[in-house]
Structure 1
Amino acid sequence: MYYIVYGFLYLCSLLPLPVLYLLSDFFYTVVYYLIGYRKKVVMQNLAIAFPEKTLSERERIAKNFYHKFIDSFVETVKLLSAPDSFFEKRFTGNWELVDQYYEQGRSVQLHLGHNFNWEWGNVVLAKRVRYQVLGVYMPISSKPLDRIFRKLRSRSGTVMLDAHHMARAFLPFADKQYCLGLVADQSPGKVHKAKWFNFFNKKTAFTIGPAKNAIRNDTVVIFAFIARPKRGHYKVTFSVATEQPQHTTENELTSTFVRYLQNVITSNPDMWLWSHRRWKHEWKEGDVMGD
């Protein structure tokens, strides 16, 4: 099954990007208007985040989100055949901000949210910075797709660490210089270990694992946001959160990221993954607030 799926997607990847975007436009119509994939979840999330906006304004954000959501799929397919140079000229960023810490002998952690297109970002990051790039990977239930995505995400040298065995997988790199990329807005799997923060005026569970890891290993923490100036082109902006994580606390560092995340989502609402159930957990009396 793997070879059938891979072969079909590889053939699709040979199509020029403009043609893939025509397919994306078609699938957008099917997904949004006919199937309505997670449309209820998306609209509920937008209502939580932007109660001040009218229904028509939230629907406009939803439509733009679905366009970018489908685009991200066809763009990921392109990773199967296009050379690294194809992506490097379409994905730019202030890479020098990250590399300056390599010269200082420091390791760094990149904290970002679920915003498009992180798959291209992973490939280009590994080529543009001097670090060994590490990424945390949540296995996909479909074995063929899991194998394909692991192949894609490691194509430029990124080492993927299994999220289920993170501590053990990280051990070989603990005493080396590394750049660890973390999608830090995941809804926590173990909500009883999470801390709760006010995110879009709603108590929201966040894992403190990224902050805990940064403090324990004294890694520079850098926040990242990916913008899309135009279709098929992205620009990542890195900003330093702290150079001295051991002078802060897990709560403070996580709270800083939560505020950052809310600001960049508010400024670019259609770039975030509204289809994931970010508010599936409800705060109850006794849960620990982090801010």
Structure 2
Amino acid sequence: MILFRLFLLLDAVLMRLPHSWRRALFTSLARLARFFAPSRNRVIRQNLRFAFADTLTEEEINAIEYYCYRNLGLNLLQVMENRHYTTEDFTKRVRFENREQVDELLAQDRSIIFVSAHFGNWEMGATALSALISPTTSIYKAFKREEFDPYLLESRTPHGMDLAEKSGALKHLARALKNGNSVSLMIDQSSNSRHGVAVDFFSHPTYHSSTPAILSYKYNAPIVPLYIFTDDEENFTIRFENPIEVESDDAQGILKATQEQANTLEKVIRANPKFWFWCHKRWKSDYPEIYAG
């Protein structure tokens, strides 16, 4: 509890500083973290070699590795700043592409399953979605130190996001969809045969979460992928991809819809590889050997 109180004191001090100062501090800390994290740097390079084979130069790999840490620092800063944001703050900094399709679905009173990834400023993206487009129910993973959980919730729930802890979250997602509400999910984490189906992802058979497709068919809720982009780390564009309608809940129907999601994610990552969170062991369930050594 003492640690948390000290953290709140730090939060209060930092939020009195100009935004540019906070950003400079967090990006500096990110550079420092990279220097002291050789094992995590190795994971980044193992992922990149596995995904892109030998098509990336050493210069490109270094740039992606550097930005992984910078982007994580910016996301941590966003969690802090979201607690103090108003709807107007999001409106000033975020614009949307292909919003018409989403507005049309919402006008039909259809629930939507928004799917995204740890890509770009995902904290800005998820919260702006709930604040400006539609309230959503989402999943979060509780901290080991439970006193920090309310801090995270205060960053998201005031902006229309209802959060369910990861353990047992499926029933909360199902309830939201049954009640006509939308949900948002991150679909880029490592999966397995229990929670996913095998799709082609970066030219490798890879388990990918089938939860969006299963829920989509059961509750007649289209899946809408979205990703957030920025050129200057100050102004953001959230781009909605084409809705995915799940045709059946048999094995083929679930696989088809899940492969479509994986295809969209891969396409976005290949076009902008530095924005993805390469720090995590995405293929640990499928190919643990690539992380050896």
Give the shorter-chain TM-score range. Answer: 0.7 to 0.9
Residue 164 to residue 245, structure 1, CA distance change in 2 (3 Å):
farther
Distance in 2 separating the partners of 1:140 and 1:203: 32
Aligned to 2:291: none
Question: How does the TM-score come out when normalised to structure 2?
Answer: 0.87
Distance in 2 separating the partners of 1:56 and 1:21: 25
RMSD, aligned α-carbons: 2.2
Count residues with an aligned counterpart: 282
Distance in 2 separating the partners of 1:75 and 1:42: 23
Residue 73 to residue 254, structure 1, CA distance change in 2 (3 Å):
same
Aligned to 2:254: 250
The alpha carbon displacement at 1:134 in A equals 1.2
Asked whether the 8 Å contact 2:178–2:219 carries over to 1, the reply is no
1:262 aligns with 2:263: no
Matches within 5 A, 1:12-31: 12-31=14-33
Residue 280 to residue 103, structure 1, CA distance change in 2 (3 Å):
same
Distance in 1 separating the partners of 2:255 and 2:246: 15
Larger displacement relative to structure 2 (92-101 or 209-218):
92-101
Asked whether the 8 Å contact 2:213–2:246 carries over to 1, the reply is no
Aligned to 2:132: 128
1:145 aligns with 2:148: yes
The alpha carbon displacement at 1:251 in A equals 0.2
Aligned to 1:177, what secondary structure does the other structure show? coil
1:46 aligns with 2:48: yes
Asked whether the 8 Å contact 2:82–2:156 carries over to 1, the reply is no
The alpha carbon displacement at 1:64 in A equals 2.4
Asked whether the 8 Å contact 1:132–1:177 carries over to 2, the reply is no
Aligned to 2:113: 109
Aligned to 1:201: 203
Aligned to 2:278: 274
Aligned to 1:196, what secondary structure does the other structure show? strand
Deviations 1:176-233 (A, max 9, x none): 2222111112212x54443222211222221211111111111011111111121222
Distance in 2 separating the partners of 1:105 and 1:267: 34
Distance in 1 separating the partners of 2:104 and 2:44: 39
The alpha carbon displacement at 1:53 in A equals 1.4
In structure 2, runs of 5+ residues without a counterpart are: 289-293
Distance in 1 separating the partners of 2:148 and 2:124: 17
Distance in 2 separating the partners of 1:180 and 1:99: 15
Matches within 5 A, 1:39-188: 39-51=41-53, 52-94=55-97, 95-129=99-133, 131-170=134-173, 172-188=175-191
Question: How does the TM-score come out when normalised to structure 1?
Answer: 0.88
Distance in 1 separating the partners of 2:179 and 2:36: 50
The alpha carbon displacement at 1:127 in A equals 2.1
Deviations 1:224-246 (A, max 9, x none): 11111212221110022324544
Distance in 2 separating the partners of 1:97 and 1:117: 23
Distance in 1 separating the partners of 2:30 and 2:236: 20
Distance in 2 separating the partners of 1:116 and 1:142: 26
Letter in 1 for 2:277: L
Aligned to 2:236: 234
Deviations 1:249-274 (A, max 9, x none): 11000001111111100001011111
Aligned to 1:287: none
Asked whether the 8 Å contact 2:199–2:262 carries over to 1, the reply is yes
Asked whether the 8 Å contact 1:221–1:245 carries over to 2, the reply is no
1:5 is aligned, of 4, 7, 27, to 7
The alpha carbon displacement at 1:103 in A equals 1.2
Residue 58 to residue 283, structure 1, CA distance change in 2 (3 Å):
closer
Residue 173 to residue 34, structure 1, CA distance change in 2 (3 Å):
closer
1:213 is aligned, of 201, 215, 225, to 215
The alpha carbon displacement at 1:171 in A equals 5.0
Aligned to 1:270, what secondary structure does the other structure show? helix
Sequence identity percentage? 21
The alpha carbon displacement at 1:172 in A equals 4.0
Residue 165 to residue 41, structure 1, CA distance change in 2 (3 Å):
same
Asked whether the 8 Å contact 1:214–1:245 carries over to 2, the reply is no
Letter in 2 for 1:20: R
Aligned to 1:224: 226
